[in-house]
């Protein structure tokens, strides 16, 4: 299908949904009782997101926030509350019906918030060619939109262009655990349902990194739909447009603390837990970003971390049988590769089958923020428990 035809069909679909109030897409975690205190019902009833990118403590006072595919404006209005009257919010959308609803409610929301004037503006435009000046945005948000765009790489490049140096994004979207086949890609209905246009997690994070963003990592994930064995799930990701690399730094070494026993960062440097690695000022900048900073000790001189050091971090599996229940773990950044203490090698976005023992490990504190977990078993599994250990072979 030609790109303009896809965009027109998506726009027609959302124009119709906005005028009829049809329910589309996914469960979100909005606190509607709270939002109702300042956002009109006309907006809330056409909320078509798959996350809450503005509500995840990502928006800071006085910032300039851009919402790509703002729809009826729910996340713009929440961002307007969080940036305060000194901040600014811009929503862009390609669908006139959506823009009309959002625009007529902007003044109502400003009045409800007690602001002297509205701090929100809605502009008509496509995510692939945003009507936004270079480098003007502190925080880019978007909620279930990029999957609908026919040329996602263009969207990622546009995001990088409009972000300030040191700016960031928090994006909720639908991704899949495997490539969506052509018979679904050409299904207009499922494309409009935020399914057929989904990228795999590997493609999504890789696309953001290729556009220039650093430390792209998972904030939240939840399962959505399974079609013909393809798992679609909602993710919220954050990443950064890097600040200028300082020409000099007192930091020269980084030592991995764990819980991973080995990682490869986005720039290709490998770190073994406890062993200092000489790093460049560029890598120092990368490793200082959230959430990488929690995993490393940065130092001027080489620092070896022993197992008894309180900064050493490891999560070992319990002495328990291993039961295969259909779970798969997908590493969702900020590393391209990471290894646990059971020698599983996780590669960014690639589903890795795990047993109940490993599931418990990955759900523990240090690992949990890095993985999206899906279950590919169609129904309950009744396989026998097996005993295995990494050193004796077997399932792990
Ligand atoms: C699933 S709705 C989400 C709306 C809003 N973010 C929300 O959470 O309610 C998708 C919105 O993105 C807009 N949209 C889809 N593709 C777009 C594109 N390529 N450029 C600009 N807007 C787009 C549609 O018009 C629609 O309003």
pTM of this prediction?
0.95
Rounded distance between C-alpha atoms, residue 287 and residue 330, angstroms:
22
* Ligand 1 mean position, distance from CA 188 (Å): 15
333 φψ region: left (φ > 0), alpha (ψ -120 to 50), beta (else): left
**CB within 8 Å of 20: residues ≥ 6 apart:** none
Atom of ligand 1 nearest to the CA of 126: 20
Rounded distance between C-alpha atoms, residue 229 and residue 225, angstroms:
10
Q: What DSSP assignment string belongs to 247-289?
A: S--S--EEEE-SSSSEEE-TTS-EEEBT-EEE--HHHHHHHTS
To 5 degrees, how large is the angle CA 284–CA 289–CA 293?
A: 80
- Ligand 1 contacts CB of residue 126 (under 6 A): yes
- Ligand 1 contacts CB of residue 25 (under 6 A): yes
Atom of ligand 1 nearest to the CA of 75: 8
Query: Could you count the other beta carbons within 10 Å of the beta carbon of residue 259?
Result: 22
- Ligand 1 contacts CB of residue 171 (under 6 A): no
* Ligand 1 mean position, distance from CA 54 (Å): 15
**Run of H or E residues at 87:** none
pLDDT range class, residue 213, cuts 50, 70, 90: very high
Task: List the beta strands (DSSP E) in 195-265.
Answer: 199-200, 214-227, 230-240, 253-256, 262-264
User: Could you tell me which of 67, 71, 78 has the C-alpha nearest to residue 47?
Assistant: 71
Query: Taking residues 215-242, what's their average pLDDT?
Result: 96
Atom of ligand 1 nearest to the CA of 95: 25
| Predicted confidence (pLDDT) at residue 378 exceeds the cutoff of 90 | no
- pLDDT for the residue 26: 76
- Ligand 1 contacts CB of residue 47 (under 6 A): yes
pLDDT range class, residue 4, cuts 50, 70, 90: confident
Token pair 């490993």 in the structure block, residue: 358
| % of the chain at pLDDT higher than 70 | 97
Query: Taking residues 76-95, what's their average pLDDT?
Result: 98
- pLDDT for the residue 320: 84
Tokens describing residue 129:
């060619």
Token pair 């006085």 in the structure block, residue: 62
Tokens describing residue 266:
């986005």
Atom of ligand 1 nearest to the CA of 46: 9
- pLDDT for the residue 1: 67
| Predicted confidence (pLDDT) at residue 256 exceeds the cutoff of 80 | yes
Q: Whose CA is nearest to atom 13 of ligand 1?
A: 69
Query: Could you count the other beta carbons within 10 Å of the beta carbon of residue 153?
Result: 16
Atom of ligand 1 nearest to the CA of 11: 25
- Ligand 1 contacts CB of residue 215 (under 6 A): no
Q: What is the pLDDT of residues 355-375, one digit of tens each?
A: 999 999 999 878 999 999 999
- Ligand 1 contacts CB of residue 93 (under 6 A): yes
| Predicted confidence (pLDDT) at residue 77 exceeds the cutoff of 70 | yes
Q: What is the pLDDT of residues 275-303, one digit of tens each?
A: 999 999 999 999 999 999 999 999 999 99
- pLDDT for the residue 340: 94
């Amino acid at each position: 299908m030609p790109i303009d035809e896809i965009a027109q069909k998506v726009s027609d679909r959302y124009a119709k949904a906005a005028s009829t109030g049809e329910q589309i897409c996914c469960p979100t975690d909005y606190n509607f009782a709270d939002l109702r205190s300042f956002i009109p019902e006309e907006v809330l009833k056409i909320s078509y997101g798959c996350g809450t990118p503005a509500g995840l403590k990502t928006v800071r006072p006085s910032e300039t926030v851009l919402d790509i595919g703002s729809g009826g404006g729910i996340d713009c209005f929440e961002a307007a509350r969080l940036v305060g009257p000194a901040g600014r919010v811009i929503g862009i959308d390609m669908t006139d019906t959506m823009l009309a609803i959002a625009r007529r409610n902007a003044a109502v929301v400003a009045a409800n918030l007690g602001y002297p004037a509205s701090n929100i503006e809605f502009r008509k435009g496509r995510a692939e060619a945003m009507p936004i000046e270079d480098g003007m945005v502190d925080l880019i948000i978007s909620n279930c939109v990029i999957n609908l765009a026919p040329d996602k790489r263009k969207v990622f490049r546009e995001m990088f262009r409009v972000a300030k140096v040191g700016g960031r994004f928090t994006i909720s979207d639908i991704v899949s655990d495997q490539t969506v086949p052509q018979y679904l890609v050409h299904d207009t209905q499922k494309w409009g349902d935020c399914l057929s246009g989904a990228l795999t997690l590997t493609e999504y994070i890789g696309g953001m990194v290729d556009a220039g963003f650093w430390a792209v990592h998972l904030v939240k994930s939840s399962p959505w739909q399974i079609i013909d064995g393809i798992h679609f799930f909602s993710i919220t990701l954050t990443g950064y447009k890097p600040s200028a690399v300082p020409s000099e730094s007192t930091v020269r070494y980084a030592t991995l603390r764990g819980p991973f026993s080995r990682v490869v960062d986005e720039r290709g440097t490998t770190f073994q837990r406890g062993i200092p690695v000489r790093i460049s000022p560029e890598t120092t900048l990368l490793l200082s970003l959230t959430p990488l900073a929690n995993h490393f000790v940065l130092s001027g001189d080489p620092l070896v971390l022993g197992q008894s050091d309180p900064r050493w971090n490891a999560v070992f599996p319990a002495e328990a049988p291993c039961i295969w229940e259909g779970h798969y773990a997908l590493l969702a950044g900020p590393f391209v590769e990471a290894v646990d203490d059971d020698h599983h090698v996780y590669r960014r976005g690639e589903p890795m089958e795990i047993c109940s023992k490993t599931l418990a490990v990955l759900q523990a504190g240090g690992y949990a923020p890095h993985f999206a977990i899906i279950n590919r078993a169609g129904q309950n599994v009744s396989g026998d428990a097996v005993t295995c250990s990494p050193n004796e072979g077997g399932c792990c």
